[in-house]
Structure formats: C-alpha cells, structure tokens
Amino acid sequence: MREHLDEPDAPLLVDVRTDRERRVANIPGSVHLPMAEVEARLAEVAPDPNRPIVTYCATGNRSLRILPTLAALGYEDARSMAGGIVAWQALGYPTDSASTLDDEKLARYSRHLLIPEVGIEGQQKLLQTSILLIGAGGLGSPAALYLAAAGVGRIGIVDDDRVDASNLQRQVLYSTAELGDSKAESARRTLEDLNPDVDVVTYEERLTSENIDRILSEGWELVVDGADNFPTRYLLNDASVWHGIPVVHGSIYRFEGQVTVFKPFEGPCYRCLFPQPPPPELAPSCAEGGVLGVLPGVIGSLQANEALKLALDIGEPLIGRLLLFDALPTRFDEVSIRRDPNCPVCGEHPTITEYIDYADFCGVPA
Amino acid sequence: MTIVRIPPTLREQTGGAAALDAEGATVRDLLDDLTGRYPALRDRIYDENELAQFVNVYVGGEDVRTREGLDTAVTDGSTVILLPAMAGGR
C-alpha cells in the first residue's frame, strides 16, 4: 500500500476519523473527511469518482463500514486500508501531526476549530497574535472581551483611567465592585480570568508623543483604537503609519458610530479621511455628548471582528471603507475612503514628520 | 429634492433635524440652501468658501473631494451624507 501511494496514479487516501484523531496523527498526503460528512462532502473532497479511493481510520473498522456509502455515491473503486493508521504506525511508516493544542484548548476553541477559515492553524495564529487596545472604555471593553475569548495570545491595554460610576452603563469590562480601581489592572484581571491563555500587558499611562514609540515598539501587530479624543487619535494615526501597524478605528457619539481599518500604505490613514482635527471650539464635547450604552457594544464588537479577520488574514477587512451605523433607524451605510496622494502623513510628500501634541479639548473627565 | 443626512454633532445647528431636504444641482447649491436656512451651520462646515478640512461630504458613497468637490453634481434621489470628524470612544 505504501509504495503504491507514491505512484502517479495513486489512489486518494481518505481519513474518515474525527477531527481530534486526525490532529494527533495522520498519514501524509491524505485528505480528511469524517464519517458523518461523507455523504455531504465526498464530491468536494474527491471530485473525480473514477479515481480509486482508499479509506482509513484507526484500525480499519469504520473505513470498511463506510464503503457501501461510497459505492452508493458512485465511487465504485474504493477500498479500506486494513489495520488502519495503527497498523501503518506499527510498520514504522511516517505520520503528520497537526496538533499543538492541548485538550483544554481543543475544548475551549472547538467552535473556532469547526470553522474551516479558522481551524487549528488559525487558532494557533490567534494564540500568537499581539493586539494593542488604545483605551479600555466603551469601545475597548467589548473588543477586549471578544479578543480575549477568541484566544488572542497577547493583549495590551493603554489606559490611565479609573473605573467611575458613569462608566458602568456601557463599559462592560467593569463591575460595581471595581469602582475606583485602575481600568488597565481591572481589565487584566477580568481578561485573564476569562481566558488564562491570554497574556495581558498593561500600560497605565496616557498615550503621548513621549511614550508612543516605546509602547508601539513592544511587538504589537495590530491596534484597536478606542480613544475618546482627537489628540490621541491623530497621535496614534501618525505613529501607526510610521511604525507600519494597522489600526482598527472606531468612534461613537450618541446613537451613531463609525468603523474602518487604516492599513498603512495599503489603504488610507486617518489623515486621508480628515487631514486635521477640528479646532477645539468646534469639536463636540464627549462628556456632554452622551452615548446609548449598547452603541459601543455594537461598534467595539465590529472592531474585534475586523481585528480577528486581519489576524487570521481572512475575509475582506474594512480597508478604504468607512462603515456608519445609526442605532435609531438601525441603519448601516458605507462610504469609500481613498488614500490621498497629498496626505500630510502617508502621502507622496509628507509634511508632517514628527509628532504633534494637539491641545487636549475632549479627554478631560467631566 | 435631495436628502442630506445631518450628523449628530451638527444637529444643534439644524434645530435637531437628522435629515433635511435640500434643493440644488450641485453639492454647493445644496449646502447654500441649507446654510441659508440654518446660518449657524455655515461656520461648522465651511472654511471661507471651501469645505472645512474636518468635514467630508459623500454623494452616493463617494467623497466629493475625489470628484468635483463642491461642484459635484447631485441628482434627485441621491443620498448626501455630511460627516465631520468624531472622536468619542468611551
């Protein structure tokens, strides 16, 4: 059998065992089709019904039992490998192993592992991904919870604030018992309780031109921007362009929110969208504005969705697209945003080459 | 007649309206119509006679700056979105 597999007209070797069995050890070059999925997916796995098939399982029982099903589907030339992978291994033949996830992780992430776009490989990728959250408030709360639950291995939190009673209406990371606690520290406790696989790095400081290079240099692959003021957002934009780190941007006001992804030099940056912040006297005051409690839940979750897609390299991230959400009519709109060749930061002839500390007019606690 | 969506940050200037009907063949005409009726809006979206840098206008989902700016044509029934920068996150 083994020699036969190296021939050009080799049969298609089909592993009919469960996901978990396959992860532990499988025969190189075989395809995976669990017993239960044979009827639904055989044609997808074996597009040519005339190609001979050899099924295998652990010891040869299940792989034999499935043969009538294959025949009924029109795959006449199908045989079962006697003895299965146990016999294969006993003969000293090579196997592959996909799993570096232990049983606890296989259970915790089972709903990810079932999605072909994530799977073991994707989950391992997430466990090795580092995502930095700017702000652990309304947007940062749901984003942090979902990223931690998803098994993002390293999550950074930049926030110098303390939990205030007025936060609890929407900042779902915190509980009443944590009033007065440091947000970064309290978030670390909650996230590590939720998922011990996550290493939470806290920065109990406000992002400034002084500390931003140090913080962004600590291995972060992606930033989720949940800041609450223009100076931080512009500072972060300029730094992320210079450091080449994509930013998942979200903002909220009353019933409305915006989400987009700024991927340096592949899509627009925040300054391509809005080259300069509004003058302080024209900027809406955040504290006065108010926000429906669930709105940051919607927008922050969308940010987590974008971050996970970018980390997994799947789907179509919101690069060059600004998604607008209005909670009152429940309406999503999308507008195009393009790279501006005259952008002062990521354009052809940048005019901004060092950090600007804009006057702080919105981050002051009410 | 075109519907112009007014962002929450500019509704104080439009008597609370979230969307307004406006007349005009170009974005400039529409905005002139609106700022004629709501003069307080003018300082919020214009810098001299041009759109302020922190305000974007979209016609059919496209930024008018990538088209003909304030001279971008507007047809009846198209949706015009007025969008100033918004920073809230908490």
Please write the tens of the pLDDT for every residue from A204-233: 999 999 999 999 999 999 999 999 899 999
Q: Is B77 on the interface with A (CB under 8 A)?
A: no
Q: Which residues of chain B have pLDDT under 50?
A: none
CB pairs under 8 A between A and B: 100
Q: Let me know if residue A38 belongs to a domain.
A: yes
Q: Which pLDDT value is given to residue A349?
A: 96
Q: Let me know if residue A364 belongs to a domain.
A: no
Q: Let me know if residue A366 belongs to a domain.
A: no
Contact A142, A296 (CB under 8 A): yes
Instruction: Choose among A317, A316, A350, A321: nearest CA to A335.
Output: A321
- Give the Cα separation of A94 and A366 in Å (integer): 66
CB contacts of B57 in chain A (<8 Å) are none
* Burial annotation B13-39 (CB, 10 A radius, 16+ → b, else e): bbeeebebebebebbbbbbbbbbeebe
CATH number at residue A151: 3.40.50.720
Q: Which pLDDT value is given to residue A268?
A: 98
Overall residue count recorded for chain B in this entry: 90
Cβ-proximal residues to A218 (8 Å cutoff; 6+ apart), any chain: A156, A201
**CA-atom Rg of chain A in angstroms:** 26
Cβ-proximal residues to A316 (8 Å cutoff; 6+ apart), any chain: A309
| A177 and A67 assigned to the same domain | no
The nearest alpha carbon in chain B to A136 belongs to B90
| A65 and A122 assigned to the same domain | no
The nearest alpha carbon in chain A to B40 belongs to A282
Q: Is B16 on the interface with A (CB under 8 A)?
A: no
CB contacts of A229 in chain B (<8 Å) are 87
Q: Let me know if residue A67 belongs to a domain.
A: yes
Q: Let me know if residue A351 belongs to a domain.
A: no
Is B42 strand, coil or helix? helix
To the nearest whole angstrom, how far is the Cα of B46 from the nearest Cα of chain A?
12
The nearest alpha carbon in chain B to A329 belongs to B18
Q: Which pLDDT value is given to residue A94?
A: 87
A228/B62 CB distance under 8 A: no
What's the domain range around A180?
Answer: 108-336
CB contacts of B88 in chain A (<8 Å) are 138, 228, 251-253, 284, 286, 289, 291, 362
| A176 and A193 assigned to the same domain | yes
Provide the residue-wise pLDDT of chain A in tens; the chain has 366 residues.
Answer: 777 777 778 899 999 998 877 877 889 889 999 998 999 999 999 999 999 999 999 889 899 999 999 999 999 999 999 999 989 988 989 888 766 788 899 999 999 999 999 999 899 999 999 999 999 999 999 999 999 999 999 999 999 999 999 999 999 999 999 999 999 999 999 999 999 999 999 999 999 999 999 999 999 999 999 998 999 999 999 999 999 999 999 999 999 999 999 999 999 999 999 998 888 777 765 556 789 999 999 999 999 999 999 999 999 999 999 999 999 999 999 999 999 999 999 999 999 999 998 876 554 432
Task: Using alpha carbons only, give the angle B69, B75, B77 rounded to the nearest 5 degrees.
Answer: 120
CB contacts of B63 in chain A (<8 Å) are 335-338
Q: Which of B53, B56, B90 sits opposite A228 (nearest CB)?
A: B90
CATH number at residue A70: 3.40.250.10
One-letter amino acid for residue A231 of the chain = P
| A227 and A273 assigned to the same domain | yes
**What are the structure tokens assigned to A329, written together?**
């009519």
Question: For testing the chain A interface, which of B58, B86, B90 should be mutated: the one with the most A CBs within 10 Å?
Answer: B90
Contact A337, A272 (CB under 8 A): yes
Q: In chain A, which residues touch B (CB < 8 A)?
A: 135, 137-140, 167, 171, 225-230, 233, 250-256, 258, 273-278, 282-284, 286, 289, 291, 296, 324, 328, 333-338, 362
| A76 and A137 assigned to the same domain | no
A284/B53 CB distance under 8 A: no
Q: Which of A255, A274, A336 sits opposite B8 (nearest CB)?
A: A255
| A136 and A238 assigned to the same domain | yes
Cβ-proximal residues to A126 (8 Å cutoff; 6+ apart), any chain: A112, A118, A150, A151, A152, A153, A308, A311, A312
Checking DSSP bridges between strand A31-32 and strand A12-15, what pairing results, if any? parallel
Cβ-proximal residues to A279 (8 Å cutoff; 6+ apart), any chain: none
- Give the Cα separation of A91 and A305 in Å (integer): 47
| A156 and A70 assigned to the same domain | no
Claim: this prediction has a pTM higher than 0.90: no
**Angle formed by the axes of helices A183-194 and A140-149, to 10°?**
30
Question: For testing the chain B interface, which of A167, A172, A237, A274 should be mutated: the one with the most B CBs within 10 Å?
Answer: A274
Any idea of the CA torsion for A260, A266, A269, A274, to the nearest 10 degrees? -90
Q: Is the dihedral of CA A15, A16, A17, A20 positive or negative?
A: positive
Phi, then psi, of B58 in degrees rounded to 5: -115, 135
Looking at the structure of chain A, the number of domains it has is: 2
To the nearest whole angstrom, how far is the Cα of A221 from the nearest Cα of chain B?
21
Domain boundary pick from A99, A131, A157: A99
The nearest alpha carbon in chain A to B89 belongs to A228
Domain boundary pick from A75, A99, A123: A99
| A194 and A328 assigned to the same domain | yes
Q: Is B75 on the interface with A (CB under 8 A)?
A: no
- Give the Cα separation of B49 and B63 in Å (integer): 18
- Give the Cα separation of B40 and A63 in Å (integer): 77
Neighbours of A246 (CB within 10 A): 21
Q: Let me know if residue A214 belongs to a domain.
A: yes
| A87 and A134 assigned to the same domain | no
Q: Let me know if residue A307 belongs to a domain.
A: yes
| A40 and A169 assigned to the same domain | no
**Domains (range + CATH), chain B:** 2-84 (3.10.20.30)
Domain boundary pick from A99, A123, A150: A99
Q: Let me know if residue A353 belongs to a domain.
A: no
Q: Is B71 on the interface with A (CB under 8 A)?
A: no
| A297 and A254 assigned to the same domain | yes
| A133 and A267 assigned to the same domain | yes
- Give the Cα separation of A113 and A70 in Å (integer): 26
SS3 for chain A is CHHHHCCCCCCEEEECCCHHHHHHCECCCCEECCHHHHHHHHHHHCCCCCCCEEEECCCCHHHHHCHHHHHHCCCCCEEECCCHHHHHHHCCCCCECCCCCCHHHHHHCHHHHCCCCCHHHHHHHHHCCEEEEECCCCCHHHHHHHHHHCCCCEEEEECCCECCHHHCCCCCCCCHHHCCCEHHHHHHHHHHHHCCCCEEEEECCCCCCCCHHHHHCCCCCEEEECCCCHHHHHHHHHHHHHHCCCEEEEEEEECEEEEEEECECCECCHHHHCCCCCCHHHCCCHHHHCECCCHHHHHHHHHHHHHHHHHHCCCCCCECEEEEEECCCCEEEEEECCCCCCCCCCCCCCCCCCCCCCCCCCCCCC
Checking DSSP bridges between strand A256-262 and strand A53-56, what pairing results, if any? unpaired
Contact A142, A148 (CB under 8 A): no
